Structure 1
Amino acid sequence: MRILLVEDEHKAGEYLRKGLMEAGFIVDWAKNGVDGLHEAQHSEHDLIVLDVMLPGLDGWQVLGELRKTKDTPVLFLTARDDVHDRVKGLELGADDYLIKPFSFMELIARIRTLLKRGPSRESEHIAIADVQIDLLKRRVTRGIDRIDLTAKEFSLLVLLAKRPGEVLSRTLIASQVWDMNFDSDTNVVDVAIRRLRAKLDDPYPLKLIHTARGIGYVLEEKE
């Protein structure tokens, strides 16, 4: 199991890293909020132990940004014990909250409980480049522009956006979006992609939907 520790205090970080490693975890340690968010977004971790008072970005900001794209379990570890702070953390999407000073045995117990539970939610937002997808409101924006999509176009975009960088075959897309067995003579997927591109890509210099010839399509940010 791999844990991301985001803690700026060197002594506390060394203590936690050593203890977690002795408990059998692989530990990545970020010493500020900016690095912590980058690690959380671009690397895979089973759980994140996150301090609130951090340089660069505080814990609230890190969690708020992270929850737009990922649902990695987060345990807040902080000296801030005000009930309003605890409520704020939980409302932002934290899975647990432990106050400093704490028992290390309790920390390990809470971590193991969260790991058994696994991710508790599907992220309500997906972001790639300057595109924001609100899954609950079924709203898509690119930069400051609202992108109006049909129900099928929205489902198609969400399918691609949930698997960025992965080439999805026409067969898979047809089965997931249209719940149909794909007929190679049917161009429903290609037509839908063309319509989605016209709204999402054509007006903008950075193209996000790319064709893998003979295979399918992929959504990714590349030069």
Structure 2
Amino acid sequence: MDMKILIADDDPIFRELVCDIIKKEGYISVEACNGQQAIDIFFDSKDIDLLILDVMMPIYDGWEVLKEIREHSEVPVIMLTALGDEKHEVFGLKKGADDYISKPFSYEVFVARLNVLLRKIKKSRLDEMKIGRMRIKQETHRVSICDSEIELNRKEYSLLIYLIENRNRVLTREQILRNIWGYDFEGDIRTIDTHIKTLRAKLLSCGEYIKTVRGSGYMFEVDES
């Protein structure tokens, strides 16, 4: 899972140092030399996962950049500053920063704090799947389509997840039966067709993602374009 981090600092040597650390940790770094550039890059890119903002920057300082970002996004933000007193740290956290690190900082401490925030992002993304117009919260088994929640029972939810996990692959009724109902199921194999029909109806327009493959079974397919 590639993570893209924007580093905004007007000191090129310090900026390069932070970029090197980020690259060594296996992440993608993007640089901005002032507050205006940081704002422009963030809103133009639309795929920045985390921001590291220096407080003292030309054009717009770190607080102004943070304020602008927070009006539109909850992306994690780490503030870097030479103003290391407690008052400034509390101020930064109240303004919406997720962490506040004073310069100069320990390499180990910086990496640890960076990875804590990025682990939270990764966990959140793994918990929430986005497939076409559907969003699935795996921890709570909530399925929503265009922000409207869809009620699925346990079997329907398991069937949907199995289809998604095997997307773009034809699944026979026997495969579905074994994986969802188990080897000891003694009912009619056509129960698969009934559940698929019900699941399609509950998924509304997203029901079209479940394709019938004549003579074979079913396939989950989404046109992401």
Whether TM-score is above 0.5 comes out as yes
RMSD of the alignment, in Å? 4.8
Q: 1:57 to 1:190 in 2, by over 3 A?
A: farther
TM-score by length of 1: 0.56
Match of residue 192 from structure 2: 189
Instruction: Note the 1:45-194 alignment, pairs <5 A.
Output: 49-51=50-52, 53=65, 57-58=69-70, 61-63=73-75, 76-79=77-80, 81-82=89-90, 85=93, 97=99, 99-101=101-103, 103=105, 105=107, 106-110=109-113, 123-143=126-146, 145-161=148-164, 163=165, 165-167=167-169, 169-170=171-172, 173-180=176-183, 186-194=189-197
On the 8 A contact 1:208/1:222 being kept in 2, the answer is no
Q: How far did residue 133 of structure 1 move? A: 3.0
Mapped to 2, the partners of 1:3 and 1:135 lie a distance apart of 21
Give 1 or 2: higher helix fraction: 2
Unaligned runs of 5+ in 1: 40-47, 64-74, 91-96
Which structure has the bigger radius of gyration?
2
Distance across 1 between alignment mates of 2:201 and 2:213: 18
CA distance in 2, matches of 1:51, 1:211: 48
Deviations 1:29-57 (CA, angstroms, capped at 9, x unpaired): 38644566536xxxxxxxx6544756975
- In structure 2, the residue matched to 1:5 is 5
Q: Tell me how far 1:217 sits from its aligned partner.
A: 1.7
Task: State the partner residue of 1:17.
Answer: 19
What percent of counterpart residues are identical? 19
> Contact conserved, 1:51 with 1:59, CA < 8 A, in 2?
no
Question: Tell me, which stretches of 5 or more residues in structure 2 are unaligned?
Answer: 32-37, 54-64, 81-87
- 1:158 counterpart letter in structure 2: I
